[in-house]
Amino acid sequence: MMTGEERKSAFGGNGKDAERLDFSPPRVGQSCPQQYPHPNDAIHATSSNGSLGEAMDIGQVAALLGCSTWTVRQRYLRQGLPHLQACASGKLVFFREQVIGWILKRQKQKGGTLR
């Protein structure tokens, strides 16, 4: 006959029965990786040479473009300079190859010469 505690827990006398159950480890990974590529694959497939280049902050982009951080924020972001922002108040992140590609594209559109 079962005691009151045995009826509540359903594991029996010493409580060790729960430890003996065979719990398989959680599944890690994806069930169909071809359908859902790894996030790093998207990074490497973006530019022509296979990478986005180094991550840069707004000061480094301003130095690359030869202007102030104010100009980058107020002018070039509005003109479509590619960047990432984690949240509304988050830090802006730029990738070197994307910035250079954006510059080259603008030069071609404006009739500029490529050196």
Domain spans, the chain = 47-109
Q: Which residues pair with 95 in a beta bridge?
A: 55
CATH architecture, range 47-109: Orthogonal Bundle (1.10)
Structure-block tokens of residue 19 = 């430890």
DSSP string of 5-60?
Answer: HHHHHSS-SSSTHHHHS-PPPPP-S-S-TTTS--HHHHHHTSSTTSS---EE-HHH
Alpha-carbon separation of residue 97 from 43, 72, 81 (angstroms): 11, 16, 12
Q: Dihedrals φ, ψ of 95, to 5°?
A: -115, 130
* pLDDT for the residue 108: 86
* pLDDT for the residue 21: 59
* pTM for the model: 0.52
Task: Write out residues in the chain with pLDDT < 50, as ranges.
Answer: 40-47
Q: Dihedrals φ, ψ of 92, to 5°?
A: -85, 140
